Amino acid sequence: MHRWTLFKRGMKDGIPVILGYIPIGIAYGMMAVNAHVSIPATLSLSLFVYTGAGQMAGINMMGQHATILAIVCTTFIMNLRHIILSTCVMDKLHDGKRWQRVLLSFFITDEVFALYTSKPKPIDNISYFFGLGLTCWLSWFVGSWLGAVSTNLLPPVLSSALGISLYAMFIALVIPGAKKSSRLLMVVGCTAILSTIFSQFLSSNWAMICATLLSAFIGLWIVKEEDVL
């Protein structure tokens, strides 16, 4: 299949993520401007950091006058899970040179990961993944821009409600693929339970990381090869 055709297919497959990213991007943009962060800085974070939860945490810390070191360390810890996500995606994406795959890893988010890896046979082509990742990244930027320039147009209650769309979208992406196998559903359930337990005595970010690693170990023992093919 031609590279341009695969690129357009990746863009098309990214539509479910776009529908979630634009609303949550609007919520982020409004939150940042309300926290007295300039519009250029708000948009720069979306362009170069590109992590919804990390950006919002950073904005909150800026509002509390936290140090740059504290913000960087917090964002780093929150995004440690991307080591796992990138490893899983690149295990399925063998096309292209190493430097190309390294650059493409920038586009990997929770939702892009869920969308790509939940496919019965993920497309092993960098043009496809570039189309998917670029489209999602740009939609996040567009949402951030819309939120930053329309701070006074939406009531606070509505802008806060937009934040839940990210979680709803992630569930919608994960469940259809997982429900095909009771063993995969079991791993998903274990992850949710473990995350809830760990969050009682760990921060939410460390709870997520620990739950993911432990559930992955459990999955090694109970998930069969046919469940993920």
Q: Where are the domains of the chain?
A: 3-174, 179-229
pLDDT digits (tens, 9 = 90+) for 141-166: 999 999 999 876 666 666 666 656 65
How many Cα neighbours within 13 Å face the side chain of 115? 23
Indicate the Cα dihedral angle 115, 121, 124, 125, nearest 10°: -60
Closest CA to 17 of 147, 174, 151: 174
Q: Which residue has the higher pLDDT, 6 or 207?
A: 6
Across the range 193-222, mean pLDDT stands at 80
The C-alpha atoms of residue 4 and residue 50 are separated, in whole angstroms, by 25
Query: Which pLDDT band holds residue 136 (cuts at 50, 70, 90)?
Result: very high
Report the 3 state secondary structure along 92-147. HCCCCCHHHHHHHHHHCCHHHHHHHHCCCCCCCCHHHHHHHHHHHHHHHHHHHHHH
Looking at residue 107, its pLDDT comes to 95
Contact 109, 136 (CB under 8 A): yes
Q: Which residue has the higher pLDDT, 181 or 92?
A: 92
Residue 23 reports pLDDT greater than 90: no
Query: Which pLDDT band holds residue 56 (cuts at 50, 70, 90)?
Result: confident
pLDDT digits (tens, 9 = 90+) for 25-45: 988 898 888 888 899 999 999
